[in-house]
Amino acid sequence: MSNWGSIEEQDGPFSINSVLPSSDQPYDKTYKIIIVGDSGVGKTNLLGRWSRNQYSSTHPLTLNVTLVEKSFKVNDTIIRVVIWDTAGQENFRSLTRSYFRGSHGAILVFDLSNANSFSKVHKWLADLRDETENLQIILVGNKNDLPSRDISQEEALSVAHKNSLSYMETSAKSGSNVNKAFQMLLTDIHKVNGSIIYEPNDSSLVSGGNTSIVLIEKPHEVVKQKKEGCCS
C-alpha cells in the first residue's frame, strides 16, 4: 500500500489526493512552477515523490528540462499545474534561466548535507528574480533523513527571513513534507492569482501581489514571511 504522507499533508486544496484523473477536460487556469537548485540536491526525486510517489537512489542527472502536469479542482475552477524540473549543472545555467520566464512559482532546493549547495541559493534566487516578476518562492532544504547535516535550521531560516521566502525541510527518500511543500506553494500562488482567468493556450501570463503573513504551523518545519514586494 502506497504511503503518500500524513493526513495533514493530504487535506485541503492542491493536496495530492485532490488531483483530478487524467482527461481531456478544459481547464480555467494554468500555473507554471519551476524546480531549481544545484545538481544533485534531489530536485527530480522531489518531483517524482510528489507526482508518482516514487524515489530512485540512482536517478540520472537532468540534462535539460522535464515537465509534469497535474490538474486540480479548487472550488469550481479547474487548474492545470505544470512543473518544470530544470538542470542544475553550471554549463546549463543560461539555458535553464530561459525556462524561468512566465513562471508563477518556484521551488528552490538545496541539500542539507551539502554546504556548497546552500551557498548557491543566493545566485539561484537572483536568477529567478531577474527573469520573473511576482514569483512565489519556497526554499526547500532536502535530505533531512540523513544522520548529519552541514546547514543548521537557524542558517536556513535566516536566509528565508532575509529574502521573504517560505521554508520547509523535506526528504524525497522518505516522503517527509514533500506533498506539503508543493501544496503550500500552490496555495500561495492561488492566493495571488486566483481571481485571474487564464486563456488555456497562453502560458506566459503572470499576475502578482503580496501574500499575507501566515503563522508558523510547526516551527521546525515551516516558516512564512510577509512579502514586501516581488523582489525584496
User: Quick one: pLDDT band at residue 15, thresholds 50, 70, 90?
Assistant: confident
> At 43, which amino acid appears?
K
Tell me what the mean pLDDT of segment 98-123 comes to: 94
Beta strand 222-223 pairing with 166-169 = antiparallel
Please give the distance of CA 229 from its chain centroid, rounded to a whole number.
19
The pLDDT value recorded for residue 59 is 59
The pLDDT value recorded for residue 90 is 52
**Residue 139, CB-side half-sphere exposure with 13 Å CA sphere:** 28
Q: Among residues 144, 143, 96, 161, which one has the least CA distance to residue 123?
A: 96
Residue with cell 477536460: 25
The pLDDT value recorded for residue 174 is 94
User: Structure pTM?
Assistant: 0.77
- Which domains are seen in the chain, by residue range? 28-223 (3.40.50.300)
Tell me what the mean pLDDT of segment 56-63 comes to: 63
User: Cα(first)–Cα(last) distance of the chain, in Å?
Assistant: 44
Mean per-residue pLDDT of the chain: 77
What secondary structure does DSSP assign to 116-146, as a single string? HHHHTHHHHHHHHHHH-SS-EEEEEEE-TTS
The pLDDT value recorded for residue 95 is 61
User: Quick one: pLDDT band at residue 149, thresholds 50, 70, 90?
Assistant: very high
